[in-house]
Structure 1
Amino acid sequence: MVVLEDCDEDFATVKEASTQWSQPVRITRFTQLQPALEAIEQESFEPPVLFLLDLSVPGGSGLELLQAIKKHARLRVIPTVILSTTDNPAEIRSCYKAHANAFHMKEMETPRMVNLVSSIFQYWLGRVRLVDPARNLLRG
């Protein structure tokens, strides 16, 4: 999984939720937009099972990474989920227009945030049938 998240507390909830998941999941974290954009363009970049993106990060917006992912032939089939504090309808609409698979508002309380991320894992990694090679990138 690739996570674009600059907030250590929010990333900690992703890590905590991943430990509750039935299979170990590799997590690659980016805290800034530019390194994430550069990484997905590398020939050696291994497509993740899921992209989890915050909208507000240093150097730009998670929306820019979403757009780059969905333009990339190898990556556009990978589910891309937005986690953000915004409830601005225009921003949410922009994410869906850029082909986000889901948009979730972050919870302010840690236990609720862990539950939210766990439900995202349950749905995208457990219930949905993913296109290869994404499904094969789960370790375990």
Structure 2
Amino acid sequence: MRSATAPFHLLLVEDEHADAELFTELIGEISRDIQIHHVLNGQEALEFVTRQGRYVQAPFTNLIVLDLNMPVMNGHEFLKRAKREDRARSIPVLVLSTSDHPRDITRAYHEYASSYVVKPGSFAEYRDLLTVIEGYWRGAVKLPTVEQISAAQSSAARSNG
């Protein structure tokens, strides 16, 4: 079980700087112990969660908040690739997108997104939404610890080897 004082590491994958700043500001108002790590596209996110390149020292990520429409590698491609990686497979991914198109929603779930939320139009609605998200992912949901995930990966590697 995660300590009440241990930080909760959230990876925000968002190419729009203004959206990332707003998200970070609102989450900071809701909870002080959420550590937000921001990357600009799916390629950087994949490197972060698999600890490659400049992210070799990245902390274990408790939750990924993912935009879909980004340059370099979009959110859909990130989901497809991340869910094939042992280090990323168990990390829940919340898609936070402006798109409410049924095709995007269905595709994200097909690619193993944990949830899909449409970005609200007003500041107050956005703050309320992030309060609900924080309460759900940090209160209602039981997430595995890094130790539990490592043990499961080691066990799988031994049985495959």
Q: 1:103 aligns with which of 88, 93, 116?
A: 116
Letter in 2 for 1:40: V
Q: Which has the higher contact order (CA 8 A, sep 6+)?
A: 1
The answer to whether structure 1 residue 123 and structure 2 residue 132 are counterparts is: no
Residue 65 of structure 2 contacts residue 95 of structure 2 at CA under 8 Å; is this kept in 1?
yes
Q: Share of identical aligned residues, percent?
A: 30
1:44 to partner: Cα distance: 4.2
- Is the contact between residue 13 and residue 117 of structure 1 (CA under 8 Å) also seen in structure 2? no
> Relative to 1, partners in 2 of residues 1:134 and 1:84: Cα closer, same or farther, differing over 3 Å?
farther
Please give the root-mean-square deviation of Cα atoms over the aligned residues, in Å: 2.0
Moved >6 Å (runs of 4+): none
* Structure exhibiting the larger radius of gyration computed from Cα positions: 2
TM-score, with length taken from structure 1: 0.85
* Long gaps (5+) in structure 2: 1-9, 149-161
Give the aligned residue type for 1:87. D
For structure 1, the residue ranges without an aligned partner over 5 or more in a row are 136-140
Q: Residue by residue, what CA displacement relative to the aligned partner does 1:5-62 show, whole Å, maximum 9, x if unpaired?
A: 1122321232123223345111110112322233333254432110000001122311
Q: How many residues align?
A: 135
Q: 1: CA distance between counterparts of 2:112 and 2:140?
A: 20
Code of the aligned partner of 1:74: R
Provide the residue aligned with 1:7 in structure 2.
16
**Cross-structure match for 1:138:** none
Pick the structure with more helix per residue. Answer: 2
Question: Which residue does the alignment assign to 1:38?
Answer: 47
